[in-house]
Structure 1
């Protein structure tokens, strides 16, 4: 029989019993929550968007802990008390604890975090960096694996990395040969296996159990944020690349 939940059965912050797709936050202090993640709650709560209407402690918290202007519109501050249940389109959700740590995560995977953590934009497009001490919640397409560098992984399988340098791109010999043979024309190789992220040094890499990126919205937004610095020649080249990619899509 399907379990019927209430505040007493949900207990402390954890996944809903026997359900890896939903997480219950025992809200006693403010959290940063990605818009759209809340699916239900017990108690008294309010959700304030970061882009307007903030005041008092919430405004101070955002000013000190949220340094990612491209993502201001994606998050709200959840305040009050009770049981806050969140989900993400049926993807697995896990909680992670940082202790004076440094973790970079794909923006589309980050769902919520405590204000003991500061959020910064990563230099890697589409990724965010959490610094400090506290708990955060992230979704993934399948269970998450933890691996030590040195290793190479498929970019689409990457969830994030902790306490190690940012990755570099690695292209295999076959891709380079095709790239040169095509006269530096980058179209026509679509498997994804020719390009990997190369991690070196100490630390931990988080890898989801599939090659499906949850969303590319944040990468697109990062590119849009850099358009103003591109010359007309660069814009024409970018337009050509986009047109070629669109032509490859099935009709």
Structure 2
């Protein structure tokens, strides 16, 4: 079996490692990149990884990163060299925005150039990129691009560009049963066949070729942040609901 051994000269510039859809090589040549913590798997050269709260490039962070909820999950990679990124064996693709507007699942976003601005989406667990530049995203299998109108399994959704945020669509037969609907919405006992995201208008939807979503701790952070506005009675009710679900899963 022939094994290809890479070095800085054979690695690509801002592209997947040849023959490897699960690793991506970014060339740093003075321009920094925002990268998700844990995405770096190797690098050549003189590259520094600075937490956003302790970076020497405060102006770039202030202008380009507007999501305090996720700030601890990102670093600023800067210097000279080639940086190889990966995400637990998931497919990695690069995408180019040209004065665009794209919302992506936070767990899928790996890196982006500072020409793009990151904001926190109003949709839980998602982030929005604005502007012009390149970004990297992981997916469980290759990504398909689809035009609205479209309904999609929530687990298969990677993101959407230049179209309105989706609404929830619940299957009519499933909704006829109040107990079934209550069980699904409160305890999560529903599937893509019962609940979908409904996209309308113009734009593009990014769909991964699997219903298995990447492990998403970002949604938990969003939920925790929302509990700050809850009173004691609401917190007790939430505690009881979570306890019931944990008992059901044991």
| Bucket of the pairwise TM-score, normalised by the shorter protein | over 0.9
Q: Quote the residue 2:171 is aligned against.
A: 172
TM-score, normalising length from structure 2? 0.94
Q: Is the contact between residue 174 and residue 180 of structure 2 (CA under 8 Å) also seen in structure 1?
A: no
Q: Quote the residue 1:36 is aligned against.
A: 38
Q: How does 1:89-128 map to 2 (within 5 A)?
A: 89-128=88-127
How far off its partner does 1:184 sit? 4.4
**Structure 1 runs not aligned, ≥5 long:** none
Q: Distance in 2 between matches of 1:246 and 1:2?
A: 47
1:10 matched to 2:11? The reply is yes
How far off its partner does 1:247 sit? 2.2
Q: What is the root-mean-square deviation of aligned Cα atoms in Å?
A: 1.5
Structure 1 residues 183 and 152: alpha-carbon distance in aligned structure 2, compared to 1, 3 A threshold: closer
TM-score, normalising length from structure 1? 0.94
How far off its partner does 1:242 sit? 1.3
Moved more, 3-12 or 127-136: 3-12
Q: Distance in 2 between matches of 1:188 and 1:25?
A: 39
Q: How does 1:1-251 map to 2 (within 5 A)?
A: 1-28=2-29, 29-51=31-53, 53-55=54-56, 58-178=57-177, 180-181=178-179, 184=182, 186-187=186-187, 189-249=189-249, 251=250
How far off its partner does 1:239 sit? 1.7
Q: Distance in 1 between matches of 2:146 and 2:106?
A: 20
Structure 1 residues 26 and 173: alpha-carbon distance in aligned structure 2, compared to 1, 3 A threshold: same
Moved more, 33-42 or 231-240: 231-240
Structure 1 residues 94 and 183: alpha-carbon distance in aligned structure 2, compared to 1, 3 A threshold: closer
How far off its partner does 1:188 sit? 7.7
Q: Distance in 1 between matches of 2:41 and 2:90?
A: 14
Q: Deviations over 1:71-102 (max 9, x none)?
A: 00000000001110010000000000000000
Q: Distance in 2 between matches of 1:80 and 1:60?
A: 17
How far off its partner does 1:54 sit? 1.8
How far off its partner does 1:248 sit? 2.6
SS of alignment partner, residue 223 of structure 1: helix
Structure 1 residues 183 and 159: alpha-carbon distance in aligned structure 2, compared to 1, 3 A threshold: closer
Q: Deviations over 1:191-238 (max 9, x none)?
A: 342110000000000001111110220000001111111122222222
Structure 1 residues 70 and 191: alpha-carbon distance in aligned structure 2, compared to 1, 3 A threshold: same
SS of alignment partner, residue 8 of structure 1: coil
- Runs (4+) of structure 1 moved beyond 6 Å? none
Q: Distance in 2 between matches of 1:138 and 1:128?
A: 12
Q: How many residues align?
A: 246
